[in-house]
Amino acid sequence: MCGIVGYIGTQKAEPILINGLLRLEYRGYDSAGIATIENNGIKNIKNKGRVNDLLSVKGIENLKGTIGIGHTRWATHGKPSSENSHPHLDNSNTFAVVHNGIIENYAELRKDLESKGYHFLSETDTEVIPNLIHYFYNKSNLQGELKFLSAVNETCKMLKGSFALEIISSDYPDSMIVVRKDSPLVIGTSPTEHYISSDIPAILSFTKDFYLLNDLEFAYLSRNSIKFYDSALQEISKTATSIEWSAAAAEKDGFEDFMLKEIYEQPKSIRETIGSHIIKDGKCIIDGLDLSKEYLQTINKIFIVACGTAMHAGLACKTVLEQICEISTEVDIASEFRYRNPLINKNTLCIFISQSGETADTIAALKLAREKGAKTIAISNVIGSSISREADYTIYTHAGPEIAVASTKAYTAQIMLLDILALYLAETLEINLDKVEIIKKELLEIPSKVEECLALAPEVKEFANKVYKEKDIFFLGRGLDYSSSLEASLKLKEISYIHSDAYAAGELKHGPIALIENGITVIGILTVPHLVEKTVSNLQEVITRGAKTLIVTNQDLGDKKFDKVIRIPEASEYVSPILSIIPMQLFAYYISKEKGLDVDKPRNLAKSVTVE
Ligand code: F6R
């Protein structure tokens, strides 16, 4: 939710900020703005609309400053408008701020500032921040850098909620301060310039060395130095981390959209996830995880908690965890879990999945599980993300940067990593070792089977082009095919805006069948051998009522009368969710394209949901 970018160096800041914002636009895209320090003070340019619309705002061509901050917004407080866009300045135009996060107590802070004579130009929660900084700055007897830093620190003490902030000041034309709490922010560094961003890919073409800040740590940036401070303003030292992702990984690489590129990257992202963890000397080893047999023998329940697609990855792995590890496994939505007082204790193992590692509900659920004494494992795709700071263990999918809002390669990498985790747990517990060996072999074959699924793209496209004008599309499946149906339906609705629902096929007669009428499209996923015949019968019932049917299966369905059958490679039910989702991702993609929609940036959505 919202992207922030910053630059301090020797080059003109404006093009660097725009470049960064364009890459961060997936985080929010209803308005954008930049502020730079010019000879005559801070110049602030902002506008409703996309980052590219900013380029036509008068005055942007005159910006020459070499220090600047930028923001692309996903509106929370106040509608998208020029006034509500960031950066926000204080009343004296001395401080400019961009903010990602939410200030929960902004209303009382605003009232208090108004009583002190401050006035506000926007409806945002953010505008209290520059004014508070101004207030503390004016009250301070300190001098130099410390005066600026202390005003920002006093301000942060007043804020309840989450924030990643970049602050520049006309009184400090060669400096910038950044700080974060529960919102992402990274600092890319080189000897004479620094780049700040909400995520690493946005600035990966400039540097590969990054500093990561913990909550309430401050960075005071000058062109050729960075000083770090804790919340007591004691100077602390930090070491930069080198990132291995190539800049090209964050580019479209000849594909029309990031989503298509990411769909096609899945053989590689799954291979890398396998390669980073699995099978060293014949055993499953998970980088970053070290659980003993004695500890695992005390575990009587596994919870998998996540949101959206990440939660669906959990559903896809419930069966393998239960059957191979013989531990009862529950999958829950983070926003439900955190408020329902779940039964957890030290005998519960809690797994939290988050591609971004920044999802507010998932992080809150993790904190709750820790408070209740459970061991926590985070699965994330982003090194150093917030969730990794909270969990007992963090294990990483190696999917590379996922830029498209609709998650694809992170989902399949999450399933792969959960499968490997299940094998690791069973091996550590020394149970079901024969099944473990069989699944291990199967997992290694998955990347090439994914390649086979991708080769089905023309067939999928042909069917998508026939049904792209539909108003409703339904998905049916049983067992693991039901979890794949949920994910297929989510993918379709989020990028095509077609209403879509997924049902456990056996539930059809308990209500949903009332929706079936002549011409409606129903998609069946059928990969669990002992459930295929049952789902076929349910599909027969919708065909009788006039539905058009598309089937995704790895089974021989004989001469049943479906409109289209997409045949995917055979695999056991444990791993087939990785394969069956590939044609469904392509289906959603081609429908969205045929409708002429923005595939990578669907309306109302943002990639990283840092508010609850
Ligand atoms: C859908 C999608 C979302 C995310 C969800 C959780 O395509 O991307 O449903 O899966 O917002 O995000 P993370 O995994 O970053 O916690």
pLDDT tens per residue across span 44-64: 999 998 888 999 899 999 999
* Pocket of ligand 1 contains residue 354 by CB under 6 Å: yes
Q: Tell me, what's the pLDDT at 436? A: 94
Cβ pair 89, 95 in contact under 8 A: yes
* Helix (H) or strand (E) segment spanning residue 537: helix 529-544
pLDDT for 355 beyond 80: yes
Q: Of 419, 439, 454, at which residue does a domain stop?
A: 454
Same domain for 474 and 450: no
Residue 599 maps to a domain = no
Tens-digit pLDDT profile for residues 174-188:
999 999 998 889 999
pLDDT band at 137 (very low <50, low <70, confident <90, very high): very high
Residue 410 CA, closest ligand 1 atom number: 14
Same domain for 304 and 232: no
Here the CATH number for the domain that contains residue 430 is 3.40.50.10490
Amino acid at the residue 280: K
Range 292-331 burial, b when 16+ CB lie within 10 A, else e: eeeebeebebbbbbbbbbbbbbbbbbbbbbebbbebebbb
pLDDT for 170 beyond 70: yes
Domain region containing 445: 252-454
Most informative mutation of 259, 304, 307 for ligand 1 (most atoms within 8 A of CB): 307
Tens-digit pLDDT profile for residues 595-605:
999 999 998 88
Same domain for 162 and 39: yes
* Pocket of ligand 1 contains residue 359 by CB under 6 Å: yes
What spacing in Å lies between the alpha carbon of 308 and ligand 1's midpoint? 5
Cβ pair 34, 261 in contact under 8 A: no
Residue with tokens 């204080």: 90
- Specify whether 2 is catalytic: yes
Query: Which DSSP letter does residue 527 get?
Result: -
Same domain for 256 and 245: no
Q: Of 205, 231, 249, at which residue does a domain stop?
A: 249
Residue 311 CA, closest ligand 1 atom number: 10
Tens-digit pLDDT profile for residues 65-118:
999 999 998 877 888 888 999 999 999 999 999 999 889 999 999 999 999 999
What spacing in Å lies between the alpha carbon of 413 and ligand 1's midpoint? 13
pLDDT band at 407 (very low <50, low <70, confident <90, very high): very high
Q: 46 is written with which tokens?
A: 């902002």
Same domain for 479 and 370: no
pLDDT for 209 beyond 70: yes
Q: Tell me, what's the pLDDT at 325? A: 96
Q: Tell me, what's the pLDDT at 77? A: 80
**Span of 305-309, 421-425, 603-607 with lowest mean pLDDT:** 603-607
Here the CATH number for the domain that contains residue 234 is 3.60.20.10
Residue 359 CA, closest ligand 1 atom number: 16
Residue 152 maps to a domain = yes
Q: Tell me, what's the pLDDT at 247? A: 67
Same domain for 189 and 318: no
- Report the 10 Å Cβ neighbour count for 603: 12
Q: Tell me, what's the pLDDT at 279? A: 62
Residue nearest to atom 16 of ligand 1 (CA): 354
